[in-house]
Structure 1
Amino acid sequence: MKEVKLETTLQVYTDINEVSEDIQTLMQAAIEAREDAYAPYSKFNVGAAILLDNGEIVIGNNQENACFPSGLCAERTAIYYAGAKFPKAKMLTMAITASSQNQLTDKPIPPCGACRQAIAEYEIKQDLPIEIYFMGAQGKVVKSHSLANLLPLLFESSVL
């Protein structure tokens, strides 16, 4: 047997004011998307914004349904919309923010496993890492240079 150690390096900013103006603009688009989320069941609003290499910013928010598996997370809403509307564009940066209607979310909230896998698919497809910034409603902002930092043993099409 051989033991393998996996390590991840992330950057943590004190708050949104510490990131560049471009990232603040992208995060603000995610915040605005978060405010329009449809989350009557979980009361947990998530917004995502993606900067494409053509300069477009595509947004998404979580969309819930009384039949719970039928809903969709903000990250996948945004990434699938970007893939459908701008199929040739590369996704450069994603900003994610989440807030709860039940409690203060002041810790960075990363994408769920299903969203990580969807983001990974597009990183592999475009052969270019997607920078990911995520935060709660306030507080620290975490930056990952690539989805691979958040999902180091990703499932990909070469095994099919």
Structure 2
Amino acid sequence: MKKETIQIEWYHYDDATKLSPEDQFLLNEAHEAAKQAYAPYSHFKVGAAVRLQGGIIVRGNNQENVAYPSGLCAERVALFHAHATYPDKKVEAIAITAVSAKTILDEPVAPCGACRQVMAEYEHRGGIPLKVIMQGQTGRVLVAPSMAGLLPFSFLHDFLDKY
């Protein structure tokens, strides 16, 4: 048996004012997207904003459905919309935030496993790191410089190509 270790890297900011201007702008776009989410069941409105090459911003938000598995998370809505509209542009960064009807969210909102898998594939396809910026409604911000820290064992097409 051989023990191996994975080291995860991320950056912690006390608030969004410490981010670069372009990352602050992207996070603000995610906040705006969250306000428009369709979340009548969970009342947990998630917003995402994707920055593509050339500074193009594409927003997405969660879209719930009474048949719960039929809804889509904000991250996937934004990424799928971005690729459908700009198929030749690489994804540079995504910002994720949320609004709750029950309380003020002051902890960063992290993507679910399905969204992490989709994000990992977009990073792999683009060949550049996908920066992930996470915040609640307010408070601290976590930034992962790539998907390696959020999904170290991603399932990518390279695996399928072998078989």
Please give the TM-score of this superposition, normalised by the length of structure 2. 0.95
Count of residues paired in the alignment: 160
In the alignment, which residue of structure 2 is the partner of 1:6? 6
Unaligned runs of 5+ in 2: none
2-side partners of 1:39 and 1:156: how far apart?
31
Q: Give 1:49 deviation, angstroms.
A: 0.5
In the alignment, which residue of structure 2 is the partner of 1:77? 77
Unaligned runs of 5+ in 1: none
Over the aligned positions, Cα root-mean-square deviation in angstroms equals: 0.8
Q: Give 1:19 deviation, angstroms.
A: 0.7
In the alignment, which residue of structure 2 is the partner of 1:97? 97
In the alignment, which residue of structure 2 is the partner of 1:125? 125
Matches within 5 A, 1:136-155: 136-155=136-155
Structure 2 counterpart of 1:62, which letter?
N
In the alignment, which residue of structure 1 is the partner of 2:25? 25
Structure 1 counterpart of 2:52, which letter?
L
2-side partners of 1:88 and 1:57: how far apart?
14
Structure 1 counterpart of 2:142, which letter?
V
Q: Give 1:113 deviation, angstroms.
A: 0.4
In the alignment, which residue of structure 1 is the partner of 2:48? 48
1-side partners of 2:45 and 2:75: how far apart?
12
1-side partners of 2:89 and 2:132: how far apart?
17
2-side partners of 1:51 and 1:148: how far apart?
19
- Deviation per CA, 1:42-78, whole angstroms, max 9, x where unpaired? 1111100011112210000000000100000000000
Large movers: runs of 4+ above 4 Å: none
In the alignment, which residue of structure 2 is the partner of 1:87? 87
Identity of aligned residues (%): 46
In the alignment, which residue of structure 1 is the partner of 2:109? 109
2-side partners of 1:75 and 1:143: how far apart?
15
2-side partners of 1:147 and 1:46: how far apart?
20
2-side partners of 1:75 and 1:35: how far apart?
15
In the alignment, which residue of structure 1 is the partner of 2:135? 135
2-side partners of 1:156 and 1:91: how far apart?
17
Please give the TM-score of this superposition, normalised by the length of structure 1. 0.97
